[in-house]
Structure 1
Amino acid sequence: MMSLARLSVWLLSIIVALFACAMYQHCVTDDRLDLPVVYTHIVNPFRRILPKVLPSSLIDNGAGFRDAVGLVMKLRNVILGNKGQLELESVHKDKDGNGEIMRHKKDTHEIEQRGQKKGAVVYLHGGGYTFGSPEALSGSVEEFETQTGKELFLIRYRLAPEYLFPTAVQDCVQMVTWLFDNSEDLGIDKTDIQLFGDSAGGALVTIVAIELLRQSDLYPIKGVHAIYPWYNMLYDLPSAYEFSVDPAGVLNQEDIGRYISFYLHGDASCIETKTLNQHLTQKVQNEYRSAVNELGIQAYTKSLEDKIKNLKSAKKYGTDNVGEEKHKKCAKNYERSLLNYQNNILFTPPEKLRLLNKTHFNIYSCEVDLLRGDTYVMVAMLESLNIGHKHLHTGNCYHGSFNDNTSAGTILRGKVVKSINSL
């Protein structure tokens, strides 16, 4: 139960957001989006100003941060008319608490009447590896069951900062492996299982597929659908500068810094190191250049070259309040994780990436998205290595729209449903 003091802080934050919107033009809109005015004038500024007005003791830990995000999500859901939660039931929970598989709760009669095996779609949620759950997003993905005729499963994985990289990856690999191994008992056709996920979940479905397709006879993933995936924790791509202020109020540079600090470092102490582009050691920079050259995708990353040569020119967000030595320490702590392809798709060995040829790989991007460039670089890599894929781009959608009751969300989900049904 939220204390009176904390509730007062939330209410004060809303008032400040409204004031900021009216007086300091914190309302950011984009003609390509169909977001209601009340959203752009309340939720968007509230979302942007929240980290600045709340005490760090409230949001620099996992529980407090998830409380804050949860409040914003509830406000978004009400204003956008997003669907409520489904009634879920647990299918399997690891005995050590390392992940859980859930599904839409069925009545006994429905299960008995089914008879023949069904295909399955498995959803991995986004949230920067720090927040989100099957329950929170289940309403918007219900149509993947009703419109595909397949069984819908949702994966719960452990979150940062309590659980650092690679915990989320390990949990998801373990849960999807269990689903395949127990498909017979679940009445699922193991040759008709597809994965889909958005943002961090889009990266997770890609990595899970790469790991499991090494044994494609045991884990024949039929399709993978990565929706505006977060593939890159390295240099800011051009879209990150284009949408440094997110018109949809969903994702900004400070969020990226927080997610990386939580996921790779376990606390909030290294947020500024990323927002100031000081998070890459010389070794990581060298590996980046080497990967770009070996893949022959310089044309796709040309706009980054000036920033690579002179990182100081890329300092665009925030004020340096911690100093150079702190940044060096954070960058060194990040180094090993950043070089891992499970965090940065650019570092995936070609032989591993080519495993995606054993499935149908679909990748979806939105025009108004800070992470749009992540998809473009991935597509460049796939084309460079002659890996089969399908790229579907939507011009009027934004990061986070996949779960929203807006025209952008409807169009985007419709594209994914159509792709699933086509396989």
Structure 2
Amino acid sequence: LPGYDIPPGVNQPAKLRLVLTVLLGTAALGRILEKTGLCSQITFGRYVRQGRKLGLDPKLFIQDVQFNKVPVRVYQPKATSDGPRRGILFFHGGGWVFGSLDTYEKVCRYLSRESDSVVVSVQYRLAPEHKYPAAYEDCLSASQHFLQHLEHYGVDPARVTVCGDSAGGNLAAAVSQTLAGRSDLPRLRAQILIYPGLQALDFNLPSYQQNRGVPLLFRERAAFFALLYLNGDALHMQEVLEGSHIPPDMRLKYRKWVSPDNIPEKFKVRGVKPLRPTDFIAEVYETVKRFCEPNLCPLLAEDSVVHQLPESFILTCEYDVLRDDGLLYKKRLEDNGVPVTWYHLEDGFHGIISLFNFCGLAFPSGKRGLDSVVNFLKSL
């Protein structure tokens, strides 16, 4: 498949090739449906990713409720507990465009059962229908409600964690930063960021160059999703990929945080080309300047905010365009004295956790990643 890349070092390459074929087939069928006017490509993509409804879980109480008008699904272990349990606020991935409570049902059940925690999965509004900051506001609103009603769910106020994968990791990082300055709510115990997307300034970091064609997230799609979330459309995608959307003075200002120089050398051995700077285009910047807001790009938060953040767990995958976002944030947290547990899947790819137990397409590396999250939770 030209333009796509299944690296030899990835976990179960033949299975990943099958996943890629399904992904491309779905996209092609979506385009046909859109052309014939039957439904939009995004609607079809959401339908395919929906995941089927699961039966009752013998070990969990599961209920759908609303927190401040935001739909959530609450998972509570049935077994009696010696005292209040851990609480986990979970924000699902899917590029702010895809994903639902059902898509992540298996992941949330696993987290709740294995770590003996109360899990709240949040169904935030999706782009492009609902642009930034809708998803962030929904996650923050649901989190505040949960933190105000922990007793009702038998949750220990000293052990509440935010957790998310991909776009959900972005939302978890943003919510964590916002709550860090709040003295009227219980302080978060930890944040768990699973291959998060944390910046939209530079789509040419080493991991973007090395993994541009590796599923489940291609370099172009990363910029496409970020623009859909920000503006509801993907205009100027090419300019954003090339980097002409950021003024030179701003690029210089953020260089201390967003730079290949902050990535350990061992992650550059697969080859990185130094890129010639592209010309800045002011009218493109005008349409995307909110990319510099930390609620959208948490990597750009000031040190005074990062310094206040709770203990952190970051999972990165070697074959993932977002690998370096995670590595750069790890460095920022550590530089500010925040304890970080880092788990790197040497053979992992973006989205590997969301394929956990998905239609027989589970990858052993994905289960290892999920179990590393469970082990971290148990240590809190």
What is the deviation of 1:416?
Answer: 0.5
**What's the secondary structure of 1:230's corresponding residue?**
coil
2:262 corresponds to:
300
- Judged with a 3 Å threshold, the aligned counterparts in structure 2 of structure 1 residues 159 and 296 are, in CA distance, closer, same or farther, namely closer
Question: Partners in 2 of 1:351 and 1:27 — Cα distance?
Answer: 41
**What's the secondary structure of 1:288's corresponding residue?**
helix
- Map 1:15-414 onto structure 2 (within 5 A): 21=1, 28-35=5-12, 37=14, 39-40=16-17, 42-48=18-24, 51=27, 55=31, 58=34, 64-70=40-46, 73=49, 85=54, 88-95=62-69, 99-104=70-75, 110=78, 116-216=83-183, 218-236=185-203, 237-246=205-214, 249-278=215-244, 280-282=245-247, 285-293=248-256, 299-300=261-262, 306-307=274-275, 310-311=277-278, 329-335=283-289, 337-356=290-309, 359-404=310-355, 405-414=362-371
- Judged with a 3 Å threshold, the aligned counterparts in structure 2 of structure 1 residues 177 and 393 are, in CA distance, closer, same or farther, namely same
Question: Partners in 1 of 2:6 and 2:27 — Cα distance?
Answer: 20
- Judged with a 3 Å threshold, the aligned counterparts in structure 2 of structure 1 residues 27 and 389 are, in CA distance, closer, same or farther, namely closer
TM-score, normalising length: structure 2: 0.83
Regions of 4+ moved over 4 Å: 48-54, 83-88, 113-116, 295-298, 301-306
What is the deviation of 1:223?
Answer: 1.5
Q: Which moved more, 1:128-137 or 1:26-35?
A: 26-35
Alpha-carbon contact 1:58-1:64 (below 8 Å) kept = yes
For residue 131 of structure 1, what is the amino acid of its counterpart? Answer: F
Q: Sequence identity, in percent?
A: 19
Question: Partners in 2 of 1:92 and 1:218 — Cα distance?
Answer: 19
Question: Partners in 2 of 1:244 and 1:55 — Cα distance?
Answer: 22
Structure having the higher helix fraction is 1
What is the deviation of 1:85?
Answer: 4.2
Alpha-carbon contact 2:85-2:117 (below 8 Å) kept = yes
What is the deviation of 1:421?
Answer: 0.4
For residue 45 of structure 2, what is the amino acid of its counterpart? Answer: V
Deviations 1:111-138 (A, max 9, x none): 9x66853221221111111111111111
**What's the secondary structure of 1:33's corresponding residue?**
coil
For residue 257 of structure 1, what is the amino acid of its counterpart? Answer: A
For residue 286 of structure 2, what is the amino acid of its counterpart? Answer: K
**What's the secondary structure of 2:296's corresponding residue?**
coil
Alpha-carbon contact 1:213-1:219 (below 8 Å) kept = no
For residue 207 of structure 1, what is the amino acid of its counterpart? Answer: A
Gaps of 5+ in 2: 57-61, 356-361
Question: Partners in 2 of 1:385 and 1:105 — Cα distance?
Answer: 35
- Judged with a 3 Å threshold, the aligned counterparts in structure 2 of structure 1 residues 38 and 234 are, in CA distance, closer, same or farther, namely same
Gaps of 5+ in 1: 1-20, 78-82, 313-323
Q: How many residues get paired? A: 360
Question: Partners in 1 of 2:230 and 2:154 — Cα distance?
Answer: 38
Question: Partners in 1 of 2:32 and 2:136 — Cα distance?
Answer: 28
Q: Which moved more, 1:48-57 or 1:119-128?
A: 48-57
- Judged with a 3 Å threshold, the aligned counterparts in structure 2 of structure 1 residues 339 and 168 are, in CA distance, closer, same or farther, namely same
TM-score, normalising length: structure 1: 0.75
Alpha-carbon contact 1:86-1:139 (below 8 Å) kept = no
Question: Partners in 2 of 1:28 and 1:305 — Cα distance?
Answer: 18
For residue 104 of structure 1, what is the amino acid of its counterpart? Answer: Y
Alpha-carbon contact 2:192-2:313 (below 8 Å) kept = yes
- Judged with a 3 Å threshold, the aligned counterparts in structure 2 of structure 1 residues 160 and 218 are, in CA distance, closer, same or farther, namely same
For residue 73 of structure 2, what is the amino acid of its counterpart? Answer: M
What is the deviation of 1:234?
Answer: 1.0
Alpha-carbon contact 1:401-1:408 (below 8 Å) kept = yes
Alpha-carbon contact 1:92-1:100 (below 8 Å) kept = yes
